[in-house]
Structure 1
Amino acid sequence: MKKILFALGLSLTASASFAYNGQIDGGFTYFDHDDSITDSNGAFDLSGTLYFNPVNAKYGPLNEAAFLGHNSNASLAYSYNYWESKNIAGFEQDNKINNISASIEYFYEQFYVEGALGFSRENEQSKLNGFKVADEDYDTTLYRALAGFMPMPNLLLAAGIDGYQGDGDNDDNRFAVKAKYVAALDHGQALNLEADGAFGDTDTVMLGADYYFNPAFSLGAEYSMQDDGDDDTDFFAVRSKYFIHPDFAVGGAIGFGDDVIAFNINASFRF
């Protein structure tokens, strides 16, 4: 027993100066719709990030270590979203969206650059009495480029473009802004504030805040809005993340929108 406790003590001591070179994130979101059409709707997300230099997680919230250390990185992400309708008088429809993207963040002293490029394919199928009556694919290319500046420690302000080009009349080149600030509080606590917006034919806005009770545990909230000129949707979520160990975290969120509730679980692994 003493050997086990000694080994645990060494592990905890080592974690105080933990550094990592990469991170893998994965999650699943289930959407519960309050309508007479949707049968099921969910989304899987997976991403991997490699840092150009080791991230030191010794100071501040573990979840903000890369930002606080100005660690440049490159990442790949994949997401899969599905929606299936109920059988209504023999008619059924389902949509599947596969999206893959690559992005980079680069910090140089007080300057910041972000770039991303993605490809999305949506498949829409319709059936009548079990027979396929439609099967269409829609492709979309997504892009994002931002340049920013850090006027004071732990505050980032950035602006640029965020857009997409797709099949048919599905194009939008938008002005984009981004802001993030991590403030240290007393007794190892901290506050994260972030905002992201893109404005064009379709406007999107995200506002988020997280309170860190200690470096390992946070509780936060997020508000998002989308307006395409005809319809606007609002979504509010409560989120939390806990690092069981500096190299492993679990998280979750519950969100509320127009006639929909979303439940998310996620995990992060660092190496």
Structure 2
Amino acid sequence: MKKNALLLGLSLLSTTALANDYNAQVDADFLTIDDVNVIGVEGTYYFDKVSTANTAWAEAAFMGRNSNASLAYVNFDGDGYALNLGGDYYHNNFFFALDATYTDYDFGDSETDFSGAVGYFFAKNWLVSVSGADEDFSDSLALNTKYIATLDNGSFVNLEASFLNYDNDFTFTADYYWTAQSSVGVDLSTEEDYKFGVHAQHFFTPAISARVGFISFDYDDAFTIGLTGRF
């Protein structure tokens, strides 16, 4: 749900590039579609240290059930911007999430939206949740699930799916981590105009990763590139 800008100052990470645990993460992404460029940056603080041991590094906070707070800024090609304040909270097998998003369209017409999720871990690596937003609540409801499998060869598989109430659409994401540091994935959806998406991510060190993505719609294609820093 969160959009993220590019060109993060790596000097912030110079003293922690070899750390396996982290308390904060900064994500930066650039997306272009139909001659529109979207740039954003997001910072997340974890209240307890996140460990990357024995799991895919990109999934470490989920597997560790690390509660967090985040702040994100997105610029829509100079035609507006959005600010998002969010957080995830884990208590035993329960999961709670809340987001508040302020969007300014054309730097004048604005609105604030709230969204949230409640979930339960049926296993250490399997979460089922229900999510919704304050605007058109019944139409925004979704049933979601996320499952991470550890394979015998030390690789990992991440599977995510959602059922969207508004048009009875399904979304599906699958990621294959052939090592803890590297993955490729595919996104599928029955939503109108959506065809498919593919993406990849690689951690060059425990603190720095890059990702790329491609999304095909009926009307155009979107390209994304991003960078993550942890410290």
Return the index of the structure with the highest Cα Rg: 1
Which position in structure 2 is the counterpart of 1:250?
210
Which position in structure 1 is the counterpart of 2:184?
219
Select 1:117's aligned residue among 74, 91, 100: 100
- Does the 8 Å contact 1:158/1:177 carry over to 2? yes
1:73-88 aligned within 5 A: 73-82=68-77
Deviations 1:128-148 (A, max 9, x none): xxxxxxxx8432222112111
C-alpha change, 1:138 and 1:235, in structure 2 (3 Å) is: farther
Which position in structure 1 is the counterpart of 2:158?
192
Q: CA deviation at 1:225?
A: 5.1
**3-state SS, counterpart of residue 259 of structure 1:** coil
- Does the 8 Å contact 1:191/1:210 carry over to 2? yes
Identity across matched positions, percent: 28
Which position in structure 1 is the counterpart of 2:22?
20
The 1-side partners of 2:144 and 2:96 are apart by: 11
Deviations 1:173-219 (A, max 9, x none): 2223221111101221000011245434x777532110001000000
Q: CA deviation at 1:58?
A: 1.4
Q: CA deviation at 1:96?
A: 1.4
- Does the 8 Å contact 1:216/1:242 carry over to 2? yes
Which position in structure 2 is the counterpart of 1:180?
146
TM-score (norm 2): 0.85
CA-based RMSD of the aligned residues comes to: 2.1
The amino acid that maps onto 2:61 is A
The 2-side partners of 1:262 and 1:175 are apart by: 26
Structure with the larger strand share:
1
Unaligned ranges ≥5, structure 1: 1-13, 34-39, 83-94, 124-135, 165-171, 227-231
The 2-side partners of 1:122 and 1:64 are apart by: 33
- Count of residues in Structure 1 that have an aligned counterpart in Structure 2: 213
Unaligned ranges ≥5, structure 2: 1-16
- Does the 8 Å contact 2:86/2:98 carry over to 1? yes
The 1-side partners of 2:30 and 2:190 are apart by: 21
